């Protein structure tokens, strides 16, 4: 990688390819000049020093690098030879084999820079790959900052709720983080959220979208913890200012499942059976197939809900397969619901890491 900030860079040509190269150079802070036979109005808007003249070898002198981007292949080759004689780095846009440097598709996230190049064979593919990498860039930036803190032998605090599932999810995240830097010292700090403090109140009566995240968000903003782990479906659409979200790449089964006494499927449940769910979505989906069933709110963690079914308080309940899989409770599942017929909550099965804008 080259630092071209405030360096003199020359582009010869002013077609569409040249304009893309010019935009890249400007984004890196270069002092860009352009030589072309015709004046390009788009360059005036960019404030570029443009010379409408024929190319001459002496015009490349004094530049750190040159891009040959004319529509004349022979001229581009001549520019390449002139640059080589003067030890000036050159990029010939139509001949990758003559390029002394490349301008890759670049994505930046904090201190992280991702560059992708196909050697000039398919610039569009480079951009597609870069855009895919954006999905993980925020996570990789977090990894880098945690690694720096770990190298300073400083403790990393991970915040989570205190349920068995939440702790298991925290352990999964710690295990993944340590793949990048095994020496990380990561400790868990548990919190009781609003939802945990009101176990008997239906969620729709609490009327806040951060019912399982608010206390952890506050701890992040106060620098009490370095990161918090949530089920993605619990994270509100808009985070408090100063926080950032990283969707953790490891995703579990997103389907809903039925837990029932005697391991009966939805079709096998007797008429009038009581289903425990506090989800309006799940209620309507099941009602569409079994309008003869009864539905009542249910709260509590996975173990508590399963216990309420097994002791006869409910005949069945609906849970996320992801949580049961993470806790090794697949044997409790009576039926998996087809996700096409039972669409699940956005983000179900995924974990999310939330951090402050800067890790202290």
The residue among 156, 148, 142, 135 whose CA lies nearest residue 112 is 142
User: Among 89-103, 154-168, 325-339, whose mean pLDDT is lowest?
Assistant: 89-103
Amino acid 315: pLDDT: 97
More confident: 22 or 142:
22
Task: Tell me the pLDDT of the chain averaged across its residues.
Answer: 87
Give residue 112's pLDDT.
67
Residue 127 lies in a domain: no
Tens-place pLDDT, residues 46-67 = 777 777 778 899 999 999 999 9
CATH number at residue 82: 3.40.50.720
- Count how many domains the chain has: 3
Catalytic residues: 234
Instruction: Output 30 or 112, whichever has higher pLDDT.
Output: 30
Same domain, 159 and 233: yes
140 shares its domain with 246: yes
* CATH, residue 279: 3.40.190.10
What's the rounded mean pLDDT across residues 302-322?
A: 95
Is residue 127's pLDDT more than 90?
A: no
Q: Do 214 and 274 share a domain, yes or no?
A: no
pLDDT band at 268 (very low <50, low <70, confident <90, very high): very high
Q: Compute the average pLDDT of residues 6-30.
A: 87
* Average pLDDT of span 86-111: 83
> Nearest 5 degrees, angle CA 240-CA 297-CA 342?
75
- Binned at pLDDT 50, 70 and 90, residue 287 comes out as very high
Q: What is the DSSP string of 287-323?
A: HHH-TTSEEE---S-HHHHHHHHHTTS-SEEEEEHHH
DSSP string, 235-294: S-SSPPTTEEEEEEEEE----EEEEEGGG--TTTSPTTPEEE---HHHHHHHHHH-TTSE
Among residues 190, 244, 235, 238, which one has the least CA distance to residue 213? Answer: 235
Question: What whole-number distance in Å separates Cα of residue 30 and Cα of residue 14?
Answer: 17
Same domain, 325 and 269: yes
The answer as to whether 123 is a domain residue is no
Q: Answer with the residue of higher pLDDT: 285 or 195.
A: 285
pLDDT band at 320 (very low <50, low <70, confident <90, very high): very high
Residues 306 and 323 in one domain: yes
Average pLDDT over residues 170-182: 89
The residue whose two tokens read 């939805």 is 266
d(Cα 8, Cα 5) in Å, to the nearest integer? 9
Residues 232 and 260 in one domain: no
Is residue 112 a part of any domain in this protein?
A: no
The verdict on 300 and 318 lying in the same domain is: yes
Which tokens hold the place of 325? 């899989």
For residues 47 and 172, give the distance between their C-alpha atoms in angstroms, rounded to a whole number: 51
- Domain assignment present for residue 79? The answer is yes
Question: Do 241 and 282 fall within a single domain?
Answer: no
Give yes or no for residue 110 having a pLDDT over 70.
no
Residue 117 domain flag: no
* Whether residue 223 is found in the same domain as residue 260: no
Closest listed residue to residue 231, CA positions, set 219, 216, 241, 243: 216
**Are 13 and 60 part of one and the same domain?**
yes
Give the pLDDT score at 360: 63
pLDDT at 111: 64
Which among 103, 118, 153 is the end of a domain?
Answer: 103
Q: What pLDDT was estimated at residue 249?
A: 63
Q: What pLDDT, on the 0 to 100 scale, is given for residue 116?
A: 80
Q: What is the pLDDT of residues 197-219, one digit of tens each?
A: 887 776 666 777 888 899 999 99
Domain presence at residue 75: yes
Mean pLDDT of 240-249: 81
Residues 208 and 302 in one domain: no
Residue 341 forms part of a structural domain: no
Q: What is the pLDDT of residue 28?
A: 84
Q: How confident is the model at residue 15 (pLDDT cuts 50, 70, 90)?
A: confident
> Is 125 contained in some domain?
no
Residue 30 structural domain: 8-103
**Are 215 and 276 found together in one domain?**
no
Rounded CA-CA distance 246/142 in Å is 8
């Amino acid at each position: 990688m080259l630092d071209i900030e405030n360096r003199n860079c020359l582009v010869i040509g002013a077609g569409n390819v040249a304009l893309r190269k010019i935009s890249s150079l400007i984004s890196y802070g270069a002092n860009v000049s352009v030589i072309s036979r015709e004046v390009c109005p788009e360059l005036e808007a960019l404030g570029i020093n443009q010379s409408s003249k024929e190319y001459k070898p002496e015009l490349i002198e004094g530049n750190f690098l040159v891009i040959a981007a004319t529509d004349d292949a022979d001229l581009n080759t001549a520019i390449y030879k002139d640059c080589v004689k003067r030890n000036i780095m050159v990029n010939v846009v139509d001949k990758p084999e003559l390029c002394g440097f490349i301008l890759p598709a670049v994505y930046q996230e904090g201190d992280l820079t991702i560059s992708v190049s196909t050697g000039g064979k398919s610039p569009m593919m480079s951009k597609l790959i870069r855009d895919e990498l954006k999905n993980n860039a925020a996570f990789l930036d977090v990894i880098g900052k945690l690694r720096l803190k770990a190298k300073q032998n400083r403790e990393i605090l991970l915040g989570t709720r205190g349920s068995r599932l939440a702790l298991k999810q925290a352990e999964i995240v710690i295990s993944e983080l340590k793949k990048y830097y095994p020496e990380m010292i990561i400790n868990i700090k548990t919190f009781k959220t609003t939802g945990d403090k009101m176990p008997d109140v239906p969620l729709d009566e609490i009327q806040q979208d951060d019912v399982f995240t608010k206390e952890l968000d506050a701890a992040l903003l106060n620098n009490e913890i370095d990161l918090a782990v949530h089920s993605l479906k619990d994270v509100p659409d808009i985070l408090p200012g100063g926080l950032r979200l990283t969707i953790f790449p490891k995703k579990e089964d997103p389907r809903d499942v039925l837990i029932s006494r005697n391991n009966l499927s939805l079709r096998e449940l007797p008429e009038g059976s009581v289903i425990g769910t506090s989800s309006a979505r799940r209620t309507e989906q099941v009602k569409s197939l079994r309008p003869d069933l009864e539905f009542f709110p249910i709260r509590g963690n996975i173990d508590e809900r399963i216990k309420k079914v097994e002791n006869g308080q409910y005949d069945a309940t609906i849970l996320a397969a992801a949580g049961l899989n993470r806790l090794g409770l697949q044997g409790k599942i009576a039926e998996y619901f087809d996700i096409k017929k039972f669409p699940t909550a956005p983000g179900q099965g995924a974990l999310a890491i939330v951090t402050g804008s800067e890790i202290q």
